[in-house]
């Protein structure tokens, strides 16, 4: 919500100053900031809905809505980037007055503000494993890069208007390309989560190690995990002594489930499949 307020203020200032100072780059950066308000609103909605607890129709929770919010942000950014590119190149060959010097100040203020917002969103997004909040953090991070590009373009135009008058337009075009690239990267990342891409090896190792700490757990044959928004659901094939009773095996499986959830807060639930443990010499060649 703080990010939305800051982005709205920056958008209003940059678009106003950009129009008054006749700077295409500043206006383009202002339009990008305006899109941030909508993007952050989508993220906020996704977080609010995605954090709702499981119910009868959604036993895995509503977390995928948060991931879908991240996907929507990526698609929005790509579309806004295309629009910025097109608008920035309009009138690039026309003769006009160079932008005013004061056009650089809102860009400098925006770079500083977005650096703070990006840091905070990355911190909390990774802490709660929110793909949409991390996507919004990348959005703010790219705002820094786009702001620097716009600042360089305006500075070049002001340095020598007779030679670099079109630099301001091309600066806006570069801003658009940066936004398009970010949007496509966010779309890729969120799509991988939606198609149940396995988490990284470090996370899978942590799951196996937590399960192995339970007395009676002889081994883990298979272990899968899929992202369901803010957390992961795990399928684990646990090996136990084949001479144990069903009741005893179930008790060990329950302990494994609880141990994983206690140690790894990013795991929502664990489905444990109990299987008989077979020493390697009994398994034969593999």
Q: Using one digit for the tens of pLDDT, what is the confidence trace for 124-172?
A: 888 877 777 787 787 777 778 777 877 787 787 777 766 766 776 777 7
Q: Which of 18-22, 100-104, 255-259 has the highest mean pLDDT?
A: 255-259
User: Which pLDDT score is estimated for 162?
Assistant: 67
Cβ-contact 138, 186 below 8 angstroms: yes
Distance CA 10, CA 165 (A): 25
Give the residue from 230, 239, 144, 133 showing the smallest Cα distance to 186.
133
Strands 219-227 and 232-240: antiparallel
- 25-29, 179-183, 214-218: the lowest-pLDDT one: 25-29
In 160-283, where does DSSP find H-type helix?
Answer: 161-164, 167-194, 201-212, 246-263, 280-283
For residue 90, pLDDT beyond 60 = yes
What single DSSP character describes residue 62?
S
What does the pLDDT average to over 10-27? 82
- pLDDT bucket at 286, cuts 50 / 70 / 90: very low
The structural domains of the chain, ordered by start, are 2-194 (1.20.1510.10), 201-283 (3.30.70.1350)
pLDDT tier at 207, thresholds 50, 70, 90: very high
Burial code (b: 16+ CB inside 10 Å, e: under 16) for 56-69 equals eeeeebbbbbbbbb
| Least-confidence region, from 50-54, 84-88, 90-94, 177-181 | 90-94
**Which residues are 253's β-sheet partners?**
none
Beta carbons of 17 and 103 less than 8 angstroms apart: yes
Radius of gyration of the chain (CA): 26
Beta strands in 68-206 (DSSP E): none
Distance CA 69, CA 87 (A): 27
Distance, CA of 3 to CA of 11 (rounded, Å): 12
Instruction: Look at 130-144, 192-206, 210-224 and tell me which has the smallest mean pLDDT.
Output: 130-144
CA dist., res. 11 & res. 110, Å (int): 9
Confidence at 93, pLDDT banded by 50, 70, 90: low
Dist. CA 130–CA 202, nearest whole Å: 18
37 vs 240, higher pLDDT:
240
- Of 32 and 245, the structure prediction assigns the larger pLDDT to 245
In 3D space, the residue among 61, 47, 27 whose CA is nearest the CA of residue 175 turns out to be 27
Cα gap 191→23, rounded to integer Å? 37
Q: Is the pLDDT of residue 258 over 90?
A: yes
Among the ranges given (51-65, 92-106, 185-199), the one the predictor scored with the smallest mean pLDDT: 92-106
How many residues appear in the chain? 286
Four-residue CA torsion sign, 240, 244, 249, 252: negative
Structure tokens at 181: 């690239």
Contact status, residue 269 vs residue 233, Cβ threshold 8 Å? yes
The pLDDT of 13-33, averaged and rounded, is 80
How confident is the model over 103-127, as a mean pLDDT?
85
Q: Is residue 237 a contact partner of residue 217, using CB atoms and an 8 Å limit?
A: no
What is the average pLDDT score of the chain? 82
β-sheet with 232-240: strand ranges across: 219-227, 232-240, 267-276
pTM of the model: 0.67
């Amino acid at each position: 919500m703080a990010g939305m307020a800051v982005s709205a203020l920056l958008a209003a200032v940059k678009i106003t100053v950009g129009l008054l100072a006749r700077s295409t780059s500043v206006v383009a950066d202002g339009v990008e900031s305006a899109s941030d308000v909508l993007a952050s609103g989508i993220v906020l909605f996704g977080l609010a809905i995605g954090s709702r607890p499981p119910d009868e129709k959604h036993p895995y929770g509503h977390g995928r809505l948060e991931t879908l919010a991240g996907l929507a942000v990526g698609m929005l950014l790509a579309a806004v980037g295309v629009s910025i590119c097109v608008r920035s190149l309009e009138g690039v060959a026309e003769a006009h007055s160079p932008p005013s010097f004061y056009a650089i100040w809102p860009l400098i203020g925006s770079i500083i503000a977005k650096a703070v917002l990006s840091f905070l969103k990355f911190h909390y997004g990774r802490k709660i494993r929110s793909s949409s909040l991390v996507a919004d953090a990348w959005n703010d991070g790219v705002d820094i890069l786009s702001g620097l590009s716009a600042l360089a373009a305006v500075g070049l135009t002001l340095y020598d208007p007779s030679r670099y008058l079109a630099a301001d337009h091309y600066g806006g075009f570069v801003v658009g390309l940066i936004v398009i690239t970010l949007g496509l990267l966010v779309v890729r990342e969120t799509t991988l989560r939606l198609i149940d891409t396995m988490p990284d090896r470090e996370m899978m190792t942590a799951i196996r190690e937590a399960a192995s700490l339970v007395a009676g757990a002889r081994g883990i044959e298979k272990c899968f995990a899929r992202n369901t928004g803010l957390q992961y659901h795990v399928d684990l094939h646990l090996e136990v002594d084949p001479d144990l009773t069903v009741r005893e095996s179930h008790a060990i499986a329950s302990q494994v489930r609880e141990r994983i959830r206690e140690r790894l807060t990013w795991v929502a639930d664990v489905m444990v499949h109990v299987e008989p443990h077979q020493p390697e010499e009994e398994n034969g060649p593999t």
